[in-house]
Amino acid sequence: MACIMVVDDDDLSRIYLSELLKRAGYTVQEAGSGLECLEQVARHHIDLFITDIFMPMMDGLELLSLLLKERPDHKIIAMSGGGSGMSQSLALGVAEKLGAIGLISKPFKMNEVIHTVASVLQEAP
């Protein structure tokens, strides 16, 4: 099964999403920030990144841009509940324009996450 990197500064969201993906059979790596994610990329083969958009220091949009600059074939799902004066739909729209190939709204539903991940990885849900 694929290895997924979950990037979210909110510990509860990150742990919940990671456990959901593990129960679905995926290998999961976690990062609490964009910088931590970039450090781990060198040590792990990652098939899919799921990143929150609003995080301190390096937001998910900057992380998305850096990952795609390094390797344009990276598969990235952006997730957001909105924040920092930007609506959820606008934040996810920007992420899509930057190259995210999947979008997840927060709060997320289990079925939505599994379906989006399987779709991006082109696996049966």
Kindly report, residue by residue over 44-81, the tens digit of the pLDDT: 899 999 999 999 989 999 999 999 999 999 999 999 98
> What rounded mean pLDDT belongs to the chain?
92
Beta bridge mates, 83 = 86
112 in a structural domain = yes
- Residue 67: domain span: 25-121
On the question of pLDDT at 125 being above 70, the answer is no
Q: In degrees rounded to 5, what are phi and psi of residue 42?
A: -70, -25
20 in a structural domain = no
> Do 21 and 4 touch, CB atoms closer than 8 A?
yes
Name residue 44's amino acid. H
71 in a structural domain = yes
Domains of the chain: total: 1
Kindly report, residue by residue over 72-95, the tens digit of the pLDDT: 999 999 999 866 667 888 889 999
What is the pTM (predicted TM-score) of this model?
A: 0.92
